[in-house]
A and B are shown apart, each in its own frame.
Chain A
Amino acid sequence: MAAEGEDEAQQAVAVEEPLDLVRLSLDERIFVKLRNNRELKGRLHAYDQHLNMILSEVEEIITTMELDEETFEEIYKTTKRNVPMLFVRGDGVILISPPLRAGI
């Protein structure tokens, strides 16, 4: 009986495949990089094998690049917005980074 309990406990923390790292991030603030220069920070509440996700207290940052017509300098602009609760479709996800350190 005791052994069975240990097995279960181990299964809960074991990291065997990439998505296990995502499971350990549940209820934590994570960083998500998406296609088209979009980034999200938010608290993870749900995900599936496609990396569909539900995040709360989300900050989205979109980076756009413009070329200065005279100097041909690349000017990067960021737009920020906040969304209380957001479903993110997994096909746009490039990477997920586990819990953010304090202050981020």
Chain B
Amino acid sequence: MPLFYSFFKSLVGKEVIVELKNDLCICGTLDSVDQYLNVKLNDISVPDPDKYPHMLSVRNCFIRGSVVRYVQLPAEEVDTVLLQDATRKEVAQGKQPQKSAS
């Protein structure tokens, strides 16, 4: 399973802030993620509702992965050593001559 897909799956249920490429920030509980890194957030809020009242009647939303600039993560929920090991593993796997699809 791709590294970042499985990483985000491990964060389901945690609070994140998604910053979009239109500068809108959406804070919410990560509900689900898919292979494109589309995400679904529950109980959302927008840090600056006066400037961005556009999402006021929305509680849960789906964000297309391609419009995400950043995701601010809860640092205490991220195991950085595990991530580095997983990254090295995935890089090594990518370099192996392709055998059969597993």
- Classify A-B as touching or not with yes or no (CB < 8 A): yes
Determine how close the nearest CB of chain B comes to the CB of A48; give it in whole angstroms: 5
Interface residue from B21, B70, B84, B87 paired with A87 (Cβ < 8 Å): B70
* Pairwise interchain contact A48-B2, C-beta atoms closer than 8 A: yes
* A19, A26, A88 interface centre (most CB from chain B within 10 Å): A26
Give the residues in chain A near B94, CB-CB below 8 Å.
49
B72 within 8 A of A: yes
Q: Is A33 an interface residue (CB 8 A)?
A: no
Q: Is A54 an interface residue (CB 8 A)?
A: yes
Query: Could you say which residues of chain B place their CB within 8 Å of the CB of A45?
Result: 78, 80, 83-84, 87
What 1/0 flags go to A69-104 for Cβ under 8 Å of B?
Answer: 000000000000001111111011000000000000
* Residue of chain B at shortest CB distance from A91: B66
A26 in contact with B73 (CB, 8 Å): no
Query: How many residues of B are in contact with the other chain, CB < 8 A?
Result: 27
Interface residues of A in 1-46 (CB under 8 A from B): 11, 19, 23, 26-27, 43, 45-46
Given contacts A19-B91, A46-B7, contact A86 B73 (CB under 8 A): yes
User: Are A27 and B70 in contact, CB atoms less than 8 angstroms apart?
Assistant: no
Is B83 touching A54 in the complex (CB atoms < 8 A)? yes
Closest Cβ of chain A to B22, distance in Å, is 11
Query: Once the chains bind, are A23 and B83 in contact (CB under 8 Å)?
Result: no
Q: Give Cα A49–Cα B95 distance, bound, in whole angstroms.
A: 11
11 A–B contacts, CB within 8 A, in A order: A23-B91, A26-B87, A27-B84, A45-B87, A47-B87, A49-B94, A54-B83, A85-B72, A85-B73, A87-B73, A92-B69
Interface residues of A (CB under 8 A from B): 11, 19, 23, 26-27, 43, 45-49, 52, 54, 56, 83-89, 91-92
What are the 8 closest A-B residue pairs judged by CB atoms, nearest first?
Answer: A85-B75, A87-B71, A84-B75, A85-B73, A46-B83, A45-B80, A45-B83, A46-B87
